[in-house]
């Protein structure tokens, strides 16, 4: 037999669950650290430039490396990082496999992959 739940009961249970998770998060959260999160970007054209702009507006985020095969996009993004008051990022862009150098040479917390779909998988599975 199926347990049916009306809308009010669903909202009550959902609210209680979310409140419980929020309280647990506040209790078990680690203190904020003073170190920044170091990001690398692969692909900084259309979608990538949007994500870069968002990252540059976030406190505690440092854009360390940029990779793109389009020099115009690469150097525009470099300028944005510098204009945001961050150190000049390392640039990778001499080939479609330059992202490999970025992954091997940089110490990053996260790499954002904003490439077209046909290149996306190769970047995302790179260790």
| Residue 31 within any structural domain of the chain | no
| Residue 48 within any structural domain of the chain | yes
* Token duo for residue 8: 């009010």
* Bigger pLDDT: 94 vs 1: 94
pTM above 0.75, yes or no: no
Give me the domain span that covers residue 106: 37-124
| Residue 29 within any structural domain of the chain | no
What percent of the chain has pLDDT above 90? 43
Mean pLDDT along residues 19-32: 55
Given a cut of 60, is residue 58 above it in pLDDT?
Answer: yes
Output the domain CATH number for residue 120. Answer: 3.40.50.720
Given a cut of 60, is residue 28 above it in pLDDT?
Answer: no
Average pLDDT, the chain: 82
| Residue 13 within any structural domain of the chain | no
Q: What is the pLDDT of residue 27?
A: 46
| Residue 12 within any structural domain of the chain | no
- Count of domains observed in the chain: 1
Report how far residue 15's alpha carbon sits from residue 20's, in angstroms, rounded to the nearest whole number. Answer: 8
Report how far residue 83's alpha carbon sits from residue 31's, in angstroms, rounded to the nearest whole number. Answer: 30
CA-nearest of 94, 41, 98 to 65 is 41
Mean pLDDT along residues 74-90: 96
Mean pLDDT along residues 13-41: 65
| Residue 22 within any structural domain of the chain | no
Name the least confident of 6-20, 65-79, 80-94: 6-20
| Residue 26 within any structural domain of the chain | no
| Residue 15 within any structural domain of the chain | no
* Bigger pLDDT: 96 vs 68: 68
Q: Is residue 7 helix, strand or coil? A: helix
Do the bridges between strand 61-67 and strand 90-92 make them parallel or antiparallel, or are there none, so unpaired? parallel
Place of tokens 């940089």: 106
């Amino acid at each position: 037999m199926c347990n049916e739940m009306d809308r009010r009961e669903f909202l009550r249970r959902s609210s209680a669950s979310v409140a419980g998770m929020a309280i647990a998060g506040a209790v078990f959260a680690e203190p904020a650290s003073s170190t920044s999160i170091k990001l690398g970007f692969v692909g900084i054209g259309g979608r990538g430039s949007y994500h870069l702009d968002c990252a540059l507006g976030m406190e505690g985020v440092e854009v360390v490396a940029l990779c793109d095969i389009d020099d115009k996009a690469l150097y525009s993004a470099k300028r944005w990082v510098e204009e945001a008051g961050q150190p000049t990022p390392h640039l990778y862009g001499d080939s479609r496999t330059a992202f490999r150098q970025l992954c091997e040479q940089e110490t990053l917390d996260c790499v954002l992959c904003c490439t077209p779909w046909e290149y996306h998988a190769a970047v995302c599975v790179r260790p």
